[in-house]
Amino acid sequence: MIEKEPSICEEENYNQLFRKYYESVTKYIYYKCGSLEQAEDIVQNAFVKLWQLCATISFSKAKSYIYKACNNLFLNEVKHQKVVLKHQQTVVKKTNNESPEFLIEVDEFRSKLKNAINQLSVKEREVFLLSRVEQKTYKEIAEITGLTVKAIERRMSKALRELRDALGGEIRI
Amino acid sequence: MVENYDTDDTFLARWLGGTLSEEERLSFEKTDVYKQLRIINRESQLLEGPIIDVDAALKIVKQKINTKKQKPKVIRLWYAVTAAAIIIVSLSMFLNASKTYTTGIGEKMSVTLEDGSVIDLNANSSLSHKRFFWTANKEVNFTGEGYFTITKSKGFSVNTSKGKVEVLGTVFNIKDRTHFELKCYEGKINFVSNKTSPDSYILTKGMQIKIEDKEIKEDTFVEQRPDWKTGVSKFVEQPLSKVLEELTHIYPITFQMNTIDANRIFTGSFKHNNLNDALQTTLTPMGVTYQKASNGNVIILSE
């Protein structure tokens, strides 16, 4: 006999899925739309829908359903607005803002970096941030976005080229 | 010199992913682009994502769920399941529907089945069979008394309270009342008792079995057709109780026994067409006086 998958209609199982995926999918949407409030709203609505469809979605398909549903909601709801990422840089290596690497102050460089990331297209930005900030592999990003690894690598390379174009001039060689 | 990172659109990604060849990597690390991207990469990895409160979000989602209709899909699924179940049940009920013929007290009826078999029902008897596809499995359920003239064919059987009568083109009489009596008038039948260890009896013309107090007796008889078919009930050395029981099947009466000894033996007969005659021919010779109660249906017996 085939072992039965846990039912998403069981609250316990549903909560488990929620805790497992809510944070990562919210970040993913946030990197697309740039508004945490909006991202949370989108992801929460997708989870409400998951509950309503709990009888028709198998436990193992829940992850891909959530990512797909969020992406669709994002495409429907978000008019591609310019993103304002509010990353915090908690790691401060040097108390002194001078660095021999940069032609400008470290703080200024970092602010320019954020700016440059914000200027990337949605496609490149989501891949770049999932890779660099969330430390996801290209394979994982490919699964999330439903693209091939090759396509992810292309987007990543393009993002890096654009960031170098924007910031290369500030770095001492 | 054209650099790899310009011509190869996955080169930089593969550099970060650590999948460049040794040769590619070493030559790339000599470039200015490498020196710049190394720092951009390092600085990018210092960035942090937003802080997300999962528990708070779960609470919000639960609220959103509760304000919307709960589990509408599940309900719809249940509708579908229920509807399917109703269809299946009613279809099987339709296909398993049975046709029942019943005779009341004093009534007789002749039933002709699909295969041409004729069953004459004596009073207070019932015959039922499947309404559809009966010929695929010619089984009938029977209680009371009936005279069966079965068209020669395979697999006809009659279920009674005492067992199953299996038939192969024959004529027989079943009496399944307080006592059970099976008589074969033509051909051959097989009686399978439904006791825990089923006994099987083959009856041919002139043979009968009786079941009284769970005991099965084999016997023979000579008459050509059951008496009741001619509108008479005959008894040869039978206890009065049997006679009284038979009377209640033919006439709409009940007996109030009082102190009457119902074990006394009776030999004789009564006709099915006149209650007063029947009472007189059975009770008077036995020395039993009888009296109709005011409503006419209760017969009060006394010595």
- Tens-place pLDDT, residues A66-88: 999 999 888 887 655 555 555 54
Helices marked H in chain A:
11-33, 36-52, 62-77, 106-119, 122-132, 138-145, 149-167
Query: To the nearest whole angstrom, how far is the Cα of A40 from the nearest Cα of chain B?
Result: 8
| Residues of chain A with C-beta less than 8 angstroms from the C-beta of B43 | 109-110, 113
| Residue B136: pLDDT band with limits 50, 70, 90 | confident
| Residue A164: pLDDT band with limits 50, 70, 90 | very high
User: What is chain B's percent helix, strand, coil content, to nearest 5?
Assistant: 35, 35, 35
Question: For residue B147, which of B245, B229, B270, B248 has the smallest C-alpha distance?
Answer: B229
pLDDT the model gives residue A104 = 77
**Amino acid in position B125:** S
Residue A143 forms part of a structural domain: yes
* CATH code of the domain containing A127: 1.10.10.10
Residue A57 forms part of a structural domain: yes
| Residue A168: pLDDT band with limits 50, 70, 90 | confident
A68 in the same domain as A18: yes
Q: Of A25, A59, A77, which residue is a domain's last?
A: A77
Is residue A97 scored above 70 in pLDDT?
Answer: no
State the residue for tokens 């039933």: B111
CA closest to B58 among chain A residues: A18
A72 in the same domain as A15: yes
Cβ of B42 under 8 Å from any chain A Cβ?
Answer: no
pLDDT the model gives residue A95 = 44
Mean pLDDT of the region A25-51:
91
Range of the domain at A124: 106-170
Is residue A91 scored above 50 in pLDDT?
Answer: no
Binary contact (A131, B74; C-beta < 8 A): no
pLDDT the model gives residue A90 = 44
Is residue A108 scored above 80 in pLDDT?
Answer: yes
Residue A90 forms part of a structural domain: no
Mean pLDDT of the region B108-128:
89
Please write the tens of the pLDDT for every residue from A126-139.
Answer: 999 999 998 999 99
pLDDT the model gives residue B14 = 92
Question: For residue A52, which of B128, B61, B197 has the smallest C-alpha distance?
Answer: B61
Number of domain units in chain A: 2
Contact between B283 and B238 (Cβ < 8 Å): no
Residue A124 forms part of a structural domain: yes
Residues 6+ apart with CB under 8 A from B211: B162, B179, B180, B181, B193, B217
| Residue B161: pLDDT band with limits 50, 70, 90 | confident
Give the nearest partner residue to B39 out of A47, A101, A114, using CB atoms: A101
Cβ of B222 under 8 Å from any chain A Cβ?
Answer: no
Residue A6 forms part of a structural domain: no
Mean pLDDT of the region B90-104:
84
| Residue A152: pLDDT band with limits 50, 70, 90 | very high
| Residue B196: pLDDT band with limits 50, 70, 90 | low
Binary contact (B58, A22; C-beta < 8 A): yes
Give the nearest partner residue to A113 out of B43, B50, B61, using CB atoms: B43
Give the nearest partner residue to A44 out of B10, B50, B64, using CB atoms: B64
pLDDT the model gives residue A89 = 46
- Cα dist from A52 to A6, A17, A41, A116, whole Å: 16, 14, 17, 40
Binary contact (A48, B64; C-beta < 8 A): yes
Residue A131 forms part of a structural domain: yes
A72 in the same domain as A111: no
| Residues of chain A with C-beta less than 8 angstroms from the C-beta of B8 | 157
Mean pLDDT, all residues of chain B: 85
Q: What are the structure tokens assigned to B210, written together?
A: 């009786």
CA closest to B55 among chain A residues: A19
pLDDT the model gives residue B201 = 85
Please write the tens of the pLDDT for every residue from B29-74.
Answer: 888 889 889 989 988 888 888 889 999 999 999 988 888 655 555 6
Cβ of B49 under 8 Å from any chain A Cβ?
Answer: yes
Residue A70 forms part of a structural domain: yes
Residue A58 forms part of a structural domain: yes
pLDDT the model gives residue B65 = 87
Binary contact (A55, B77; C-beta < 8 A): yes
Chain A, chain B: beta-carbon pairs less than 8 Å apart = 146
| Residue B75: pLDDT band with limits 50, 70, 90 | low
- Cα dist from B275 to A68, B104, B144, B283, B289, whole Å: 87, 16, 20, 12, 15
Contact between B58 and B64 (Cβ < 8 Å): no
A72 in the same domain as A20: yes
Is residue B190 scored above 60 in pLDDT?
Answer: yes
Cβ of A163 under 8 Å from any chain B Cβ?
Answer: yes
Binary contact (B52, A51; C-beta < 8 A): no
